[in-house]
Amino acid sequence: MRSSNAVANVEFLTDAFETIQSLLAERIHDDSFAKFTMAYETFNTIGMEHTCDVGQKPENRLKNRYQNIMPYDHSRVVLPVIDNDPDSDYINANYVASHRSPRGYIATQGPVPASFTAFWRMVWHTKADAIVMLTQEIEAGKMKCHRYWPDASSTPSTPRDVYGPITVTHILSEAHPHYLLREFRLECGRESRLVRQYAYLSWPDHGTPLTTDEMLHFRHAIRASGDRSTGPMIVHCSAGVGRTGTFIGLDAAIEQCLDGIGPIDIGALLVKMRHARNYMIQTDGQYLFLFQAVQNAIAVLLADDAQRADGGSGGERQRGRQGRRHRQRRARAGGVSRDVQQLDERVGPEAVG
């Protein structure tokens, strides 16, 4: 955690871990997910009172990947109008608040050809320096996200391309075990910026990742790369709701933990996201995965702070007790992983996220 008070950190994290553990124990009994699913379904109508008039305009139809996933008017990203075209301010994207900023994230769809220019204009206008891509271009034989970036491996080779007023140059592509890192130089007028895209490769065509470790390492790589204070983190999958909502919920909860801002209420996070963009966290399997991932992240943070707290007083016996408690917490959290897999098998493929 970012606080130097390791003892207070341990108390905060222990409370957060045990709260999540208690809630899961209350809602999951003997491999029955009925109570958990019922709790998830109470969020179904959250945010549905918000209008989506701009996205439904005929002039914007081709800019939407799915005609049933529209951005809410009140939270949509509004771009500067260009060439006196009032519809040039539109992109299928919404701001989502973090605990630090009302515009901490942007949740958006995987761009379609008609929205490529709007996407890069959004990156530039919002001063974003990180794009998180949670889908592959093609999954199960279906186009999930068009290649909206220039790429030397494309046919024909296109390491540099122009999107309206913005020139994008692909300067780096680096393979990691579960994700690809791409780096782009954006130029507009006399100004230039570097933007990184983190493309996660291990989310299956449907459901959730098999373990939380890969996702937590992926999230850590993004956060460790630099300060996001210059602009929001842009997150997209295919529709920009299922996987996107799960990742934003995970990152937001961990950031709260790191700053010691409580309580860590995953249900409240979902309510906030659903008011910002419809269908965020699309299945109860994704919702359960979010609980598991947050709990495992807390267990790791707790082990680190417990070791720091013990360091001042010394004592191998005390550190041994803390280590055993940490392993017990990870074991309890690991039980949730099996629950997620069982729930995924029951609910089947996710719709469009």
Amino acid identity of 30?
A: D
Would 70 be classed as within a structural domain? yes
DSSP string, 75-104: TB--PPPBTTBGGGG--SEEEE--SS-TTS
Q: State what percent of residues in the chain have pLDDT above 70.
A: 86
The arithmetic mean of pLDDT across residues 306-316, rounded, is 65
The C-alpha R_g of the chain, in whole angstroms, comes to: 21
Cite the DSSP H helix spans in the chain.
Answer: 6-27, 34-41, 116-125, 213-224, 242-259, 266-276, 284-311, 316-347
- Per-residue model confidence as pLDDT tens digits over 8-44: 999 999 999 999 999 999 999 877 899 999 999 999 9
Q: What domain range is 300 assigned to?
A: 6-347
Catalytic site includes residue 145: no
The arithmetic mean of pLDDT across residues 35-62, rounded, is 97
The arithmetic mean of pLDDT across residues 225-238, rounded, is 84
Would 268 be classed as within a structural domain? yes
Total domains in the chain come to 1
pLDDT at 351: 47
Would 183 be classed as within a structural domain? yes
What whole-number distance in Å separates Cα of residue 107 and Cα of residue 132?
A: 10
Would 353 be classed as within a structural domain? no
∠ at Cα 345 (353, 137), nearest 5°? 30
The arithmetic mean of pLDDT across residues 205-214, rounded, is 80
pLDDT at 102 over 90: yes
The residue ranking higher by pLDDT, 154 or 117, is: 117
Residue 353: pLDDT band (50, 70, 90) is low
- Per-residue model confidence as pLDDT tens digits over 258-305: 999 989 999 999 999 999 999 999 999 999 999 999 999 999 999 988
Locate 2 and state its tokens: 């970012």
Would 352 be classed as within a structural domain? no
For residue 78, CA distances in Å to 52, 232, 275, 279 come to 13, 14, 17, 21
pLDDT at 318: 47
CATH number, domain of 111, equals 3.90.190.10
The dihedral region occupied by 141, where left means phi > 0, alpha psi between -120 and 50, and beta the remainder, is left
Would 1 be classed as within a structural domain? no
Residue 325: pLDDT band (50, 70, 90) is low
- Which residues touch 180 (CB under 8 Å, ≥6 apart)? 173, 174, 197, 198, 199, 201
Locate 254 and state its tokens: 């961990």
pLDDT at 336: 45
pLDDT at 343: 52
pLDDT at 346: 47
pLDDT at 333: 47
Would 122 be classed as within a structural domain? yes
Would 302 be classed as within a structural domain? yes
Q: Is 353 helix (H, G, I), strand (E, B) or coil?
A: coil
Catalytic pick among 52, 145, 188, 237: 237
Q: Helices 284-311 and 213-224: crossing angle, nearest 10°?
A: 70
Torsion sign (Cα): 268, 1, 5, 259: negative
For residue 131, CA distances in Å to 38, 234, 338 come to 34, 5, 30
Residue 312: pLDDT band (50, 70, 90) is low
Is this structure's pTM higher than 0.85? Answer: yes
